[in-house]
Amino acid sequence: MWRHPGGKLRELGPQALTDAELLAILIGTGIPGRSAEAIARDVIAHFGSLSGLARQPLEALLQFRGLSICWRWGI
């Protein structure tokens, strides 16, 4: 079992990861009390998929605690 989706990515490739796992890799680290994986699951649940997330304006992302301003601009 992998401790972070990055290990799964290295071993199995991107096709083996869920949208939330791929997003967690982009998020990198979480915040106190919330892992990157938990934040990513919330974001994907809200927007439905990475594709749904990509169609959102910046303001829609600002509602998620744990997404730093630097990360938001990097999407």
Instruction: Give residue-wise pLDDT tens across range 5-59.
Output: 988 999 999 999 999 999 998 888 888 999 989 999 999 999 999 999 999 988 8
Helix axes of 5-12 and 19-27: crossing angle, nearest 10 degrees: 120
Phi, then psi, of 40 in degrees rounded to 5? -60, -40
Does the structure show a pLDDT above 70 at 71?
no
User: Look-up: residue for tokens 């304006």?
Assistant: 57
Cα distance between residue 63 and residue 6, in whole Å: 26
Give the distance, in angstroms, between the CA of residue 68 and the centroid of all CA atoms in the same chain.
12
Q: Nearest 10 degrees: CA dihedral of 61, 63, 64, 69?
A: 60
